[in-house]
Chain A
Amino acid sequence: MLEALILLPLVAGALMLAVGNAAFCRALLPLTGAGHACLSLATVAAVAQGERPSALGGLMAPDALGALFLILASLLFFAASLYAVGYLREEEAIEVRTCIHDGRPFTNSPERRFTACLCFFLAAMSLVTTTPHLGALWVGIEATTLSSAPLIYFHRHRRSLEATWKYLIICSVGIALALLGNILLSVAFYAPGSGAESPVLADDIDSLGWFVAHAPSAAPPWLKAAFIFLIVGYGTKMGLAPLHNWLPDAHSQAPSLVSALLSGALLNCALLGILRGHQILLAAGLGDFSGGLLVFFGILSLLTAAIFIVGQGHYKRLLAYSSVEHMGILSLGIGLGGIAVEGALLHSVCHSLTKCLLFLLSGNILARYHTYSSYDVRGLRWTMPATGALWTAGFLAVAGSPPFGIFVSELLILKGMLADGAWLVAAIYLAALAVIFVGMSVAVLRMVLGARPHDMSARPRSRREPLWSVVPPLALAVAVLGLGLWVPDWLWRFLEMGGRLIGGQ
């Protein structure tokens, strides 16, 4: 059954390329999403009950941490696939497409390539989240880059091409550094004198379990060097500052449903690569070193995001910088250890749901207003009542206001800081969050409130919003609100299971 997590989207993608009919692709996409979500739920349920399902000779054997990111990727994909059906139908109906910035005409990539790449992207993320093998994890993360690059270039204009190129080159070079980290990790475990009989060479499958079990005997300097390359390499893909340059460009130029997946699902996958390294260093007794680096990059990302969010006029870039912020918070929470780790895992759940919600809504706004500028979008509550209301709720959620889930997770991380006696970190954390709250609220409130633009008709008909554009974001908003009011026991136990792997309580 576990193999189907990869095979289902792969086969669906291949079928889409082979058949090519738009109606077929649009029907198969949500079906694939629904099927994958069911499989992921079954996997998570098995892992939560303490089982360790395994497939492909141990190449797939998800633990609680991987299963958590798997279900997030799967649910977000399902929401995005429902949105995609309506989105692609509307895209097809447009006769002349012109670039919002320079007015040049452009075309879209073939639809079947777009939907197939979405499926391949899901397959790659499934491999990343289910494999305990660090080499396969690397291959999977590189595969996510390659399958998502054509998605960013769906609208074939200069800006999206520029963003795609930056994404491809920066992430590929970054991930190459993570491969160097993997090699250094193997060197750290190499037992001198044993030659080819070294267990690292003989027992390559299930390396993570092997690495963790043998970590105390590894050479610390090589382990530290390996973690530095892993955090720099996967951190590039995760969008940790100062390695985040590609992120605002790619997330702002991609179609909104792709941005939602990049931000909500893919960044978690890259984080998982770093967490695997952290797991090994914790087992080797070097948790302070890896935790310290995570805290350092976390603070740097928070501060960078705070600087760029204030005065940001491009609302999709605003959301992208918000992702840099939240990746910083995740990294910070995990680096601190203790209760902050569970807080960080809850944060990853809430952030993924919220960011997917906001990016999907940004697509609705872009389609109606034809501008990326938050200065030119006014009166959302008049022109798009449902989107406007959800946009406000999403902003409150992502900025960490009660009663949404991110408030709870950020509070838990703060509690972890105070319990750790990290007063300076807590002060920087709170100050950055406050600045970001103000910076985001200025832009969002300007968009929602304000007078309706003159050229937009006041007739009720123009206020109507199609269901496909509102229902997936609404479901996500309800989930984030629910997590703020009540974290179910089973979820909390599952987060604790994942947290224990990376230094949680």
Chain B
Amino acid sequence: MISLSSLFSTILFLLLLNNLLLLGAPGLRALIRLTAFQGVLLGLLLFGMEHALLACAVLGIKGLLLPGLLERTRRRLGAADEPRPRMHLGVCVVTGILGLVFSLWLETRLPILPDLFPPLLLPTALTTLFCGFILVVGRATAISQVIGYLVAENGIFLLGMPLMAAGAIWFELALLLDIFVAVFVMGNAIGHIGETFDSLDTGRFRSLRD
């Protein structure tokens, strides 16, 4: 039991580390690999919580399929690095650390239900959510924005984990399917963006305004 709980904490710690690495990663390849690693960590957590079917689905979809889809899109368009992030990467990492500190503080302030959330789960989930938003806002390419969306969604998924019931597995599976289709549609759109604008820089989107 003790080893299980320490394994649980180790995975959560790795998730936190992974988040900060995501914020500092300059290249799209590294970003995609780190997202895949995050998916694997989430799957392992679910194995630990005895949701074997869901764990397999998460490993398959978040750990393999979605990163594979993004990597394929990236290769097809020949994009390697961020052209010019809107936020300096150092600033992103510092903001992420501030998010972590805020989440840890929030855990001490909230009337949290100890038997619902294991220690460190709430701060990890919130930090993951923040990091996702920082990626969406701070990065310029369409692929990194999708990765930001995925990371934010992972944070919410993590937060919902203690509430997952064995009988309601259909909802989590439907959610995973939704995310898969979302990334598929976004990947498709990215392909069109690459072909139409000759770049994945969403900073070029300036024609629609009042």
* In contact, A135 and B136 (Cβ under 8 angstroms): no
In the complex, are the beta carbons of A183 and B171 less than 8 A apart?
no
Residues of B within 8 A of A488 (CB): none
Q: Choose among A136, A156, A249, A308 the residue that contacts B171 (Cβ–Cβ < 8 A).
A: A136
Out of B142, B153, B168, B185, name the residue touching A176 (CB < 8 Å): B153
Known: A176-B149, A187-B163. A249 touches B208 (CB 8 A): yes
The reply to whether the CB of A91 lies closer than 8 angstroms to some CB of chain B is no
Give residues of chain B (8-52) contacting chain A, Cβ–Cβ below 8 Å: none
Instruction: Render B96-119 as a binary contact track against A, CB cut-off 8 A, 1 for contact.
Output: 000000000000000101011000
Interface string of A8-37 (1 = CB under 8 A from B): 000000000000000000000000000000
What's the Cα separation between A186 and B168 when bound, in Å? 13
Whether, in the assembled complex, B178 has its beta carbon less than 8 Å from a beta carbon of chain A, the answer is: yes
Given contacts A158-B196, A312-B210, contact A166 B205 (CB under 8 A): yes
Cβ-defined contact, B189 with A161, below 8 A: yes
Alpha-carbon distance A99/B111, docked complex (angstroms): 56
Judged by a CB distance under 8 angstroms, whether B159 is at the interface is: yes
Q: How far is the CA of A193 from the CA of B114 in the complex (A)?
A: 9
Contact A162–B208 (Cβ < 8 Å): yes
Q: Closest approach, in angstroms, between the C-beta of A264 and any C-beta of chain B?
A: 22
Contact assessment for A180 and B159 in the assembled complex, using a CB-CB cutoff below 8 Å: yes
Report the Cα distance A312→B210, complex, angstroms: 8
Neighbour of A158 across the interface among B142, B153, B197, CB < 8 A: B197
Interface 0/1 of A159-186, CB less than 8 Å to B: 1011111101100110010011001001
Q: Tell me whether A202 and B182 are in contact (CB under 8 A).
A: no
Indicate whether B145 reaches chain A with its CB closer than 8 angstroms.
Answer: yes
1/0 contact string of B145-182 vs chain A (CB within 8 Å): 11001001100100110010101100100110010011
Cβ of B186 within 8 Å of any chain A Cβ, yes or no, is yes
Given that A169-B149, A183-B159 are contacting pairs, would A204 and B182 also be in contact in the complex, using a CB cutoff of 8 Å?
Answer: no
- 123-180 of chain A: CB within 8 A of chain B: 135-136, 138-139, 142-143, 145-146, 149-150, 153, 156-159, 161-166, 168-169, 172-173, 176, 179-180
| Distance (whole angstroms) from the CB of A309 to the closest CB of chain B | 10
Counting contact residues on chain B (CB < 8 A from A), the size range is 35 or more
A248 within 8 A of B: yes
Query: Which of A136, A143, A156, A201 contacts B192, CB < 8 Å?
Result: A156
Least distance between B100 CB and chain A CB atoms (Å)? 18
B207 touches A149 (CB 8 A): no
In chain B, positions 116-135 with a C-beta closer than 8 Å to chain A are 116, 129, 133
Interface residues of A in 240-292 (CB under 8 A from B): 248-249, 252-253
Q: Which residues of A contact B178 (CB under 8 A)?
A: 139, 142-143, 146
A139-B178, A176-B149, A204-B165 known; A168 vs B189 contact (CB < 8 Å) = yes
- Bound together, the chains give a CA A135 to CA B163 distance in angstroms of 13
* Chain B contacts for A252, CB-based, 8 A: 208
From A168, A190, A249, B116 is in contact (CB under 8 Å) with A190
Q: In the assembly, what is the distance between CA of A404 and CA of B51, in Å?
A: 56
B193 at the interface (CB under 8 A from A): yes
Whether B210 lies near A149 (C-beta < 8 A) is no
Is A101's CB within 8 Å of the partner chain B? Answer: yes
Q: Given the complex, which residues of B lie within 8 Å of A466, measured CB to CB? A: none
CB contact between A183 and one of B163, B202, B207 (< 8 Å): that residue: B163
Chain A hits for B182, CB < 8 A: 142, 145-146, 168, 172
When the two chains form their complex, are residues A204 and B171 in contact, meaning their CB atoms are under 8 A apart? Answer: yes
Q: Indicate if the CB atoms of B163 and A190 lie closer than 8 Å.
A: yes
- Known contacts: A161-B193, A165-B193. The answer to whether A201 contacts B181 by CB under 8 A is no
Minimum distance in angstroms from A400 CB to a CB of chain B:
23
Alpha-carbon gap, A149 to B113, bound state (A): 40
Is the CB–CB distance between A253 and B208 below 8 Å?
Answer: yes
Give the complex CA separation of A15 and B129 in angstroms: 39
Closest to B126 in A: A180
Known: A153-B192, A166-B208, A173-B149. 20 other contacts (CB 8 A): A139-B174, A145-B182, A149-B185, A159-B207, A159-B208, A161-B193, A162-B207, A169-B146, A172-B149, A172-B182, A179-B156, A183-B156, A190-B113, A196-B165, A201-B168, A204-B167, A204-B171, A219-B111, A252-B208, A308-B210
Question: Which 7 residue pairs of A and B lie closest in terms of their CB atoms, listed nearest first?
Answer: A204-B168, A201-B165, A135-B171, A249-B208, A162-B205, A183-B160, A139-B174
Write 9 A-B pairs (CB below 8 A) sorted by A numbering. Answer: A146-B182, A149-B185, A158-B207, A161-B189, A169-B149, A172-B182, A179-B153, A179-B160, A252-B208
